[in-house]
């Protein structure tokens, strides 16, 4: 088994980003080699090396794992971030948890709005009339 990879510090990651930017467009052989090396290192960064949200969590409480209970959304579908679905009692990175909780909150507020006024039709018809009038005016 390979030894665990040593994580880069935020400063080292920043230096790598600088190197990547500075060598951008450098057509010398050395420049191209540096650029390619910085790019491949950046690609292999782990989540914890590149995510400032999780880095701060680790600083504050020694871990960036958070347990969340994710319900289904108002359409009875799982919440998804970048195509990955999240549902049930799960442990995720802090940044993912924050995004999920925000989405759940927004979804709940949307549901509340939907259940508060049941009289949607007049508003909608009003918009239609407005649209129709604009079309006639032009
Ligand atoms: Zn993160």
Summarize the confidence of residues 9-34 as an average pLDDT.
Answer: 94
CA 46 to ligand 1 center in whole angstroms: 10
Residue 102 covered by a domain? yes
pLDDT of 101 over the 80 cut: yes
Task: Name every residue whose Cβ is closer than 8 Å to that of residue 67 and which is 6 or more positions away in sequence.
Answer: 89, 90, 91
Give pLDDT, residue 134.
Answer: 56
Residue 56 covered by a domain? no
CA 32 to ligand 1 center in whole angstroms: 31
What's this model's pTM, rounded to 2 decimal places?
0.62
Residue 125 covered by a domain? no
CA 104 to ligand 1 center in whole angstroms: 18
Residue 126 covered by a domain? no
Mean pLDDT (the chain) is: 84
Residue 100 covered by a domain? yes
Q: Indicate the number of domains in the chain.
A: 2
Residue 107 covered by a domain? yes
Cβ atoms within 10 Å, residue 97:
22
CA 96 to ligand 1 center in whole angstroms: 7
Residue 129 covered by a domain? no
Position with higher pLDDT, 10 vs 104? 104
> Half-sphere exposure (CA, 13 Å, Cβ side) for 94?
15
DSSP tally for the chain: helices H, then strands E: 6, 4
* CA gap 107, 101 in Å, rounded: 10
Give pLDDT, residue 117.
Answer: 56
* CA gap 45, 24 in Å, rounded: 19
CA 29 to ligand 1 center in whole angstroms: 35
Q: Are the C-beta atoms of residues 47 and 54 closer than 8 Å to each other?
A: yes
CA 132 to ligand 1 center in whole angstroms: 48
Domain hosting 101: range is 64-117
Sign, Cα dihedral of 126, 129, 131, 133: negative
**Are 11 and 44 part of one and the same domain?**
yes
CA 97 to ligand 1 center in whole angstroms: 9
State the DSSP code for 67: E
pLDDT tens-place string over residues 48-65: 898 989 989 999 999 999
CA 31 to ligand 1 center in whole angstroms: 31
CA 43 to ligand 1 center in whole angstroms: 16
Residue 108 covered by a domain? yes
pLDDT of 119 over the 80 cut: no
pLDDT tens-place string over residues 78-98: 999 999 999 999 999 999 999
């Amino acid at each position: 088994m390979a030894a665990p990879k040593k994580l880069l510090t935020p400063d080292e990651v920043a230096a790598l980003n600088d190197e990547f930017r500075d060598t951008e467009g450098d057509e010398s052989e050395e420049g191209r080699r540096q650029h390619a090396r910085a790019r491949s290192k950046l690609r292999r960064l782990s989540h914890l090396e590149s995510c400032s949200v999780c880095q701060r969590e680790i600083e504050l409480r020694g871990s960036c794992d958070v347990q969340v209970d994710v319900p289904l959304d108002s359409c009875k579908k799982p919440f998804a971030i970048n195509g990955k679905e999240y549902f049930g009692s799960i442990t995720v990175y802090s940044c993912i948890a924050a995004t999920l909780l925000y989405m759940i909150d927004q979804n709940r507020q949307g549901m509340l709005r939907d259940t508060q006024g049941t009289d949607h039709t007049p508003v909608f018809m009003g918009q239609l009339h407005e649209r129709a009038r604009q079309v006639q005016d032009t």
